[in-house]
Amino acid sequence: MTFKKVDVHARSSSTSAASQDKNATFPLDTVDPMGEVTSINVARPRVLEFFAGIGLARMGLESAGFRVAWANDFEADKKAMYEAQFAEDPEHTFSLGDIARTKVSELPKDASLAWASSPCTDLSLAGARAGFAGAQSGTFWHFIQLLTDLGKNRPDVVVLENVTGLASSHGGDDLTAAIRAFNQLGYSIDVLALDARRFLPQSRPRLFLVGAQNPPTDNPDPNSELRPDWLQWVYGDKSLRTHRAALPTPPKPKTEGLGELIEDMPLSDERWWDESRTTAFIGSLSPTQRDRVMRLRRTSGVKYRTAYRRTRKGTAVWEVRPDDVSGCLRTARGGSSKQAVVRLGNKRLQVRWMTPLEYARLMGAGDYNLDSARTNQALFGFGDAVAVPAVAWLAENYLMPLVKGDLVTLGAPVDEALNG
What is the pLDDT, as a whole number, of residue 21? 39
Q: Annotate 106-117 with b (16+ C-beta within 10 A) or e (fewer).
A: ebbeebbbbbbb
Residue type, 100: A
What is the pLDDT, as a whole number, of residue 35? 53
Angle between helices 375-383 and 76-85 (to 10 degrees): 90
For the chain, domains (ranges, CATH) are: 3-252+385-417 (3.40.50.150), 264-354 (no CATH)
User: DSSP readout, 163-222?
Assistant: EGGGGTGGGGHHHHHHHHHHHHTT-EEEEEEEEGGGTSSB--EEEEEEEESSPPPP---T
Contacts 24+ apart (CB under 8 A), 226-230: 226/192, 226/193, 226/194, 226/250, 227/191, 227/192, 227/193, 228/193, 230/167, 230/168
The rounded distance, in Å, linking the Cα atoms of 64 and 67 is 9
Catalytic residue, chosen from 47, 120, 181, 293, is 120
What is the pLDDT, as a whole number, of residue 196? 98
What is the pLDDT, as a whole number, of residue 307? 96
Contacts 24+ apart (CB under 8 A), 176-182: 176/237, 176/240, 177/132, 178/132, 178/140, 178/209, 179/209, 179/234, 179/240, 179/241, 179/242, 180/239, 180/240, 181/141, 181/144, 182/144, 182/158, 182/209, 182/211
**Beta-carbon contacts of residue 2 (< 8 Å; ≥ 6 apart):** 27, 28, 29
Q: What is the CA radius of gyration of the chain?
A: 23
Residue 374 backbone zone (phi > 0: left; psi -120 to 50: alpha; other: beta): beta
What is the pLDDT, as a whole number, of residue 316? 85
DSSP-derived 3-state class of residue 110: coil
What is the pLDDT, as a whole number, of residue 26? 37
pTM, entire model: 0.84
What is the pLDDT, as a whole number, of residue 40? 56
The rounded distance, in Å, linking the Cα atoms of 378 and 355 is 9
The rounded distance, in Å, linking the Cα atoms of 163 and 136 is 14
What is the pLDDT, as a whole number, of residue 333? 55
Per the annotation, the verdict on 120 as an active-site residue is: yes
| 157 and 113 Cβ atoms separated by less than 8 Å | yes
Q: pLDDT per residue over 218-269, tens digit each?
A: 999 888 999 999 999 999 999 999 999 999 999 999 999 999 999 999 999 9
The rounded distance, in Å, linking the Cα atoms of 235 and 419 is 7
Spans of the chain, pLDDT less than 70: 1-42, 120-138, 332-336, 408-420
The rounded distance, in Å, linking the Cα atoms of 324 and 258 is 5
The rounded distance, in Å, linking the Cα atoms of 117 and 126 is 17
**Beta-carbon contacts of residue 3 (< 8 Å; ≥ 6 apart):** 25, 26, 27, 28
| 398 and 65 Cβ atoms separated by less than 8 Å | no
What is the pLDDT, as a whole number, of residue 39? 56
Torsional sign, CA 74, 80, 81, 87: positive
What is the pLDDT, as a whole number, of residue 139? 85
| 404 and 20 Cβ atoms separated by less than 8 Å | no
Which runs of consecutive H residues, i.e. helices, occur in 71-139?
Answer: 76-85
β pairing state of 205-212 and 315-320: unpaired
Residue type, 153: N
